[in-house]
Amino acid sequence: MRKQLFVALAAAALTAPAAPAYAAPPKPGVNWGACPADAAAPPQLQCASIQVPLDYRHPGGKKISIEVSRLRSTDPAARRGVLLFNPGGPGGPGLTFPLDLVRSGVPTSVLARYDLIGFDPRGVGHSSPVNCGLTPEQLVIAPKYAHTEADVVAASAFAKGIAQQCAASESAPVLPYLTTANTARDMDQIRAALGEAKISYLGYSYGTYLGGAYATLFPNRTDRMVLDSVLGPGGYDVTAARRFAEGMQDRFPDFAKWAAVRDSVYGLGATPAAVTATFGKLADKLDKTPVAGIDGSYFRLETHNLTYQTQAFPRLAQAWQSLLANQVPPGAVPPAPTPAEQSETGTMISILCGDNAWPRQISTYQENVAHDRAKYPMLGGLTANVWPCARWPKQPIEPPVQFSDQGPANLLLVQNTRDPATPLSGALETRAQFGGRARMVTVDQGGHGAALPYTNSCGFGAVAEFLVNGTRPDTDKFCGAETNTRRLSQQQQEAADRILDRMTRH
């Protein structure tokens, strides 16, 4: 199973001075119809395409297609407007995401208040997909775990290969315009095409940065904005990459406690300390002798990914069991790359490299690796290593955004205390940047996704209350841990699994 680690922009004044920040919105009107056949969507989910500029600095130039979906409000008399979604990424498809949220248990009061709007972001799925023609090895864009300075040099060479492959691909002319800022501008084109004065929004993980970008570029076109599992204000820059290691150290003790209680089932250690020692033993073993291509770096990545939600702990424990026995875990060997994987990965890389300029000196990464390997030993030698953006041939076409406290006070941030992907430290920085515009609900739990319907009722209740009634906490709020895990129906569990899959494409 292949999962990828990774995964407020410029205001109008920060865009190239001689060009407008965005094109004139299209005239209202969307021709709704059936969704693409491969979306396997029920008839109630309608789809449509809209045309947007590839380069918003030149709105009369080349156009690309953005595919949009809609689930209509269940009560037109109670309808407030539209609620857009982004499940994360960058590079995550979102066309059918509203269906999964509905199936996972979104309250009927939310369904009555909004038309639910999904979309595949530019470059992905049915929205003018790109393709870098990456090999199966290159699709895992995260670098290897570096034990030495020579390992950093090797990672730089691998990163250069990915960057050169994208630069030589047929999609190369499009890639510089796959940015968060342009995706936010696409969202405003969707808003205008729907004939709406404002949009509400619910974004997860990378979707929090996208939502912050929209709230920065178009503050007066926002209604109720929810950002769940919050990136730092720089988006997915080199700091966010290094923070994955911090998140791993925050979250892993939850798994260690869980596995220790079940030592008679999985045999990973009878105490949290023993489970942690097993992690180190397995990582060292696989560094020296991979099992069917699964080396220590892949093991570390998969362990990190499968801590995103507690429901995945049994899969993680079973994978460790297999590797301890020198066996390949079920589903661990990916099939040949699909066009969808190519478009998602190509878009992911382009956004990471197009949003921010990354350090280019190998010595910088060698210093970062040495520091993070000591501070966050489980993952720091990997996430501080050289990513493709260090060797990306083009600089970003515009500066990154600075989130601001100027604008409507309509942002609700929701954040777990022990998030393995977007740690609390980054969320606190974003909260500070937005100042009085935002309130934050912090939830005492581990995992990625604080306010999903099937996790913490306090956190999700705050989101539902805001979306339905517009009520935010008067001050930042803390939600305590909940020990009673809600039992999901089969449909809810399947929807939750799909949500987890989308949220672990980072």
Active site residue 448: yes
| C-beta separation of 385 from 369 below 8 A | yes
Q: Which two tokens stand for residue 353?
A: 């490299």
- Alpha-helical runs (H) found in 289-401: 296-305, 313-324, 339-355, 362-375, 380-383
Active-site residue flag, 205: yes
The span from the CA of 415 to the CA of 247, in Å, is: 13
Tokens of 391: 């060797």
Q: What is the DSSP string of 257-304?
A: HHHHHTHHHH-S-SSHHHHHHHHHHHHHHHHHS-BTTB-HHHHHHHHH
How many angstroms separate the Cα of 317 from the Cα of each of 279, 306, 506? 11, 9, 21
Distance CA 222, CA 218 (A): 7
Task: Identify whether the C-beta of residue 386 lies closer than 8 Å to the C-beta of residue 156.
Answer: yes
- Report residue 356 CA to chain centroid gap: 16
For the CA atoms of 140, 145, 149, 153, the dihedral, rounded to the nearest 10 degrees, stands at: -10
Please check whether residue 449 is in contact with residue 440, taking contact to mean a CB–CB distance below 8 angstroms.
Answer: no
Region of residue 29 (left: phi > 0; alpha: psi -120 to 50; beta: else): left
Catalytic site residue from 223, 237, 419, 506:
419
Round to whole Å and give the CA distance between 49 and 381.
43
Please pick, among 127, 128, 171, 205, the residue that the annotation labels catalytic: 205
Segments in 93-179 forming alpha helices (H): 97-104, 108-113, 136-139, 149-167
Among 169, 199, 205, 216, residue whose Cα is nearest residue 398: 216
Residues forming beta bridges with residue 67, ordered by sequence position: 49
Pick the catalytic residue from 200, 237, 355, 448.
Answer: 448
Token code pair at residue 131 = 């393709």
- To the query of whether residue 156 is one of the catalytic residues in this protein, the response is no
Tokens of 138: 């290159």
**Distance from C-alpha of 320 to C-alpha of 318, rounded to nearest angstrom:** 5
CA angle 500, 490, 97 (to 5 degrees): 40
- What is the spatial distance between Cα 161 and Cα 364, in angstroms, rounded to a whole number? 20
Residues with a known catalytic role: 205, 419, 448
